[in-house]
Chains A and B, each alone.
Chain A
Amino acid sequence: MPLSPWLRRGFGGVLVSGVLGVGRVCCCGLVALTERDRGVAPLALKTNFIIRGIAPKPGGLAGFAGGSAGWVGGAVGRATRETRRRVEWGASGDCSGTMGASCARVRGGRRWWVFCAWALILLGAAGCDRGRGTQSEGVADGGVVTVYSGRTEALVSPVIARFTEETGIRVRVQYGETSQLAAMLLEEGTRTPAQVFWSQDAATMGLLAREGRLSRLPEEVLGPVPERFRHREGRWVGVSGRARVLAYHPDRVEVSSLPARLEDLVSEVWRGRLGWAPTNASFQAATAAMLTLSGPEATRAWLEGIHGLSPRAYPSNTPAVLAVHAGEVDAVLTNHYYLHRLQAEHGAAFRVRNHYLRCGEAGSFVSVATVGILEGATGPSRDAAERFVAWLLSTESQEHFALVNHEFPMVSGVAVAEGMPTTEALNAPQVDLAHTESLEGVLRLMRDTRVLR
């Protein structure tokens, strides 16, 4: 049975829109490509303008129209054919034998065309939409800065949006896991499109600084941050802090039995009641502080001691704190701000509490999210990057971190959220936050003691 002319016409529409749709995808790629270039070459600018300003809308519309035409053509073609067959074969509805075969083929064929048509309608719709979006973006153009952020979108995007509002500088952010982004930066080398790296922790920054990937920040940016929360050569600076705590359930743990130091946890009282997240970067950084302050023997003894109490290991902090709530364990070593997050989720029913150790040792370690400017950022993008870093340390941003995210501000004089101690009251130990050697040592110790595999 030959393909009906209707279907063929539908096919033409699909084909045209298909070509346009593929063109759209390529255009998107080109836009991304031209935007990535920091020094704006005239040719790139021109292509960019053509693609963003003129090409997308007709392309998208044509894709949309072509896809729709394909859809309609296919449907009408099928309807015509059905009618004709009904006329030819009578209304017996007999669908066996050879007739059954043609039925099956028609059904399969229609699904296929309709499917293509739908895909292209979607592509076309995207073409129209994207064209609109990029045009309005180009209005207030104060430059562009590209940021790799190991901090998650939910925590930092409001601050970034305010920055663009204030300065007109557009921020392009690649969110990801801190360690993966660092691996990516090392893999990219000097050709990275990023100017700023925002890390969950200080150790990753320490590694990048050691590899020579970070440039020096200007003094006036560093100024308001205490020295222990920034790199000694000024290659990175702390943005917000998260304190190590023991999160416990008040019904099952007496306040009087809470430890004053991490070492107090090594006691039979806690057998089978503890949880921890040994693969977590903050845990490892705090243990590295213990290694620096107390030496390898004491650290090994502590790790073995806790490990001997058969604690439950969790892959990260959120499930650990949830486990206290669920009653799997009575207390976990974690960061302080998951509790506030989960309280916001569960309301008053979430009865877990934070115990700040405040001992001035590893137990009261504060891990900081840090930011640095990558080596190789020059010219206008370097200025934009510096303004971005300065914005993160402004009072407004610091208040956002403190009051909305429940973190500890790095700049003195900024209020903390209700019911939380001030940054100074945490009594954080005086250690090099990004001391990569001690972190390596801790990882070795954790493998030796079989805490990690």
Chain B
Amino acid sequence: MWGSVRPAHPWLHGVAVAVGLAMLVPLVWLVVRALQGWELVLSVWGSPGTWSALWRTLSLGIGVGVLAIGLSLPLAWLTHATDLPGRRWFRILFNLPLAVPSYVAGFVVVAVFGPMGWFRSWMGGGPEVYGGFGATLALLYAYPYALLPLQAALSRMDSRGWEAARSLGASPLRAFLTVVFPALRPALAVGFLLVALYVIGDFGAVSLLRYESLSYLIYLRFRSLFERAEAIPLGLLLVAVVFSLLLIRRWIGGRTRLVLSVRGGARPWAEVPLGRWRWPAFGFAVGVVLFGVGLPVGTVGIWLVRGLSHGNVLPPVWEITRNSLLVGVGAALITVFLALAPALVQRFGHRLVARPVWLFCHLGYALPGIVVALSLVFLATAVAMPLYQTFPLLMFAYVVRFLPLGLGSIHEGLQAQDPRLHEAALSLGCTPLQSWRRVVLPGLVPWFVAGWLAVFISTIKELPATLLLSPIGHGALSTRIWSLTEDAFFTAAAPPILLMLLLAGVALLWQPGSRLR
């Protein structure tokens, strides 16, 4: 492993271990609860329904993950290295679906592809939307989790390898496959992992589309008055799924560490002319935007116009928007800074520390939000009552939920950086800490921003943790949207949904490589 020449700073290891242990709270809670009723755990694990739900969860997670990286790769390439018309706008638009809450995505998919949706009436038939097909479509709205790291990687990638390959006579496809693709593998792996973990923890879309995955069962058990205990073994099973997905990520990420970008020497991509493919590619890009942004905005717009024409009123949204914005900005900042320690240890530290910390950090993200929220209720009421229902605890919940989004991005940035820089700094007399501060970190800014964006958008979308752990009386966009759609106040739900998209769109202006501002 690179950088193992000199031991990393022990202090950094300490911080990373502390962060990793803090992320263990949900698992500890699950284990404590499971130990209270061990027979139940065994009986739930033994039932065939559990195993079929496990299979459905795994297949959905891997399927959507693969589809998402398959979709993100051409999108990232088109917007960063080609002469696609309007590519700077597309860079932002492609990421907007991230801000569509999964239950809204579910409503949209049912409205369009459902038995009476216009897609069916237009095509005169089609696959059954309820089940795997619909759930895949609705969860594919999470593909920007894969796109963001890819875009960050491309924006820092040196194009000279590609140019050299082209000048030596390689076809564009061959040059892409042999030079660019291997360098993107870490980013693809991170993207796959983030999408797959999001999918297995999602509840909104799978419940609306009646796909009985593990997370759906967990929510049902928690909602039930008497079967709450059965959610615990299911949650432990989901932890096992997380581990297996992390193994798959290692495999996609590959063992080679290709270094194409030397900080200070990276050159922006020259535009690759698309030639006659320019307009078909444009059509493809427009299609993706229509599906990802056009459909939700259109559906919600119809709600709004139709409802207003029938005299529905709109409640004020200023306060909840401000709440969401502030908490989101703060939580995302804290999360990316906390993610730094595990990421650095993963890159430069001792593997005996790095691997478990890496693993622990991904738990909270893949577990359904309700498990994380209830575990923190348990923790706070048991040992930290003064913190209960305060902003610090809410922020902590968001960190537990979304740390991997920052971690993946930063880790990938570290991997793309030449480790010789760090070593050169050390040999010139810097301490490791100085080297990180003055050499390594400044080159990481795009990845910081990419991670921040993903965490920010996820935070304003997050529902269960916000519902349960918010300070009393603190409304947010996500909780408002949920409560309004729950009671069929679709008109009133429209402005918060559109505002959420707007906030995400404005935030995406910070995206690395976007030069719109």
Contact = CB atoms under 8 A, between A and B. Distances in A.
Given A32-B391, A154-B492, A187-B381, A440 B49 contact: no
Contacts of A140: none
Contacts of A207: 225
B310 A345 contact: yes
A154 B326 contact: no
Contacts of B512: 111
Name the interface size band of chain A: 35 or more
B266 A101 contact: yes
A69 to B, nearest CB: 19
Interface string A8-39: 00000000000000000110110011001000
Given A33-B386, A174-B473, A342 B116 contact: no
Contacts, number: 190
A395 interface: no
Interface residues of B, number: 83
B467 interface: yes
Interface string B169-209: 00000000000000000000000000000000000000110
A304 to B, nearest CB: 18
Interface stretch (B63-71, B347-355, B421-429, B479-487): B479-487
A453 interface: yes
A146 B488 CA distance: 26
Given A341-B489, A346-B306, A453-B217, A154 B484 contact: yes
A359 interface: no
Contact of A182 (B116, B225, B325): B225
B464 A180 contact: yes
B386 A443 contact: no
Contacts of A313: 210
A26 to B, nearest CB: 8
Interface in A113-161: 115, 119, 122-123, 126, 129, 146, 152-155
A174 B470 contact: yes
Contacts of B210: 313-315
Contact of B472 (A126, A172, A345): A172
Contacts of B4: none
A177 B445 CA distance: 40
A378 to B, nearest CB: 18
Contacts of A423: none
A419 B132 CA distance: 42
Contact of B224 (A28, A100, A146, A443): A443
Contacts of A83: none
Contacts of B388: 188, 193
Contact of A179 (B224, B268, B448, B475): B224
Contact of B223 (A153, A177, A193): A177
Interface stretch (B274-282, B370-378, B398-406): B370-378
Contacts of A347: 306, 309-310
A119 B453 CA distance: 13
Interface in B262-300: 263-268
B485 to A, nearest CB: 7
Interface stretch (A102-110, A253-261, A292-300, A424-432): A102-110
Interface string B301-317: 00100110111100100
Contacts of A126: 322, 326
A450 B267 CA distance: 61
A204 interface: yes
Nearest to B470: A174
Nearest to B231: A183
B473 A172 contact: yes
A204 B487 contact: no
Given A187-B381, A345-B490, A439 B225 contact: yes
Nearest to B466: A176
Contacts of B107: 319
Contact of A105 (B442, B467, B486): B442
B93 interface: no
Contacts of B27: none
A109 B468 CA distance: 38
Given A179-B225, A443-B224, A123 B310 contact: no
Interface in A322-340: 326-328, 338
A436 interface: yes
Contacts of A175: 467, 475, 479, 483
Given A29-B390, A32-B389, A111-B510, A345 B329 contact: no
A439 B228 contact: no
A189 B377 CA distance: 11
B150 to A, nearest CB: 18
A318 B312 contact: no
Contacts of A326: 114-116
B309 A153 contact: no
Contacts of A112: 445, 448-449
B505 interface: no
Contacts of B445: 108-109, 111-112
Contacts of B471: 28-29, 32
A327 B116 CA distance: 6
B212 A453 contact: yes
Contact of A146 (B381, B472, B479): B472
Nearest to A102: B264
A184 interface: yes
B333 interface: yes
A430 to B, nearest CB: 23
A172 B374 CA distance: 21
B127 interface: no
A147 to B, nearest CB: 9
Interface string A223-258: 000000000000000000000000000000000000
Given A152-B484, A341-B489, A436 B473 contact: no
A176 B483 CA distance: 8
Interface string B451-466: 0100000000000100
B119 interface: no
A123 B326 contact: yes
A176 B472 CA distance: 11
B264 A179 contact: no
Contacts of A26: 392
Interface in B321-335: 322, 325-326, 329-330, 333
B491 A345 contact: yes
Given A115-B510, A347-B306, A316 B390 contact: no
A41 interface: no
A192 B313 CA distance: 35
Contact of A153 (B224, B385, B475): B475
Contacts of A204: 225
Contacts of A92: none
Given A100-B267, A104-B264, A204-B225, 6 more contacts: A25-B395, A28-B471, A111-B445, A111-B512, A318-B488, A452-B220
22 contacts: A29-B387, A29-B392, A100-B266, A101-B264, A104-B264, A104-B268, A105-B264, A115-B452, A154-B484, A174-B470, A174-B472, A177-B467, A179-B225, A193-B472, A313-B210, A319-B110, A345-B489, A345-B490, A347-B309, A443-B226, A453-B49, A453-B217
Interface of A: 25-26, 28-29, 32-33, 36, 96, 98, 100-101, 104-105, 108-109, 111-112, 115, 119, 122-123, 126, 129, 146, 152-155, 172-177, 179-180, 182-184, 187-189, 191, 193, 203-204, 207, 279, 312-316, 318-319, 321, 326-328, 338, 341-342, 344-347, 436, 439-440, 443, 452-453
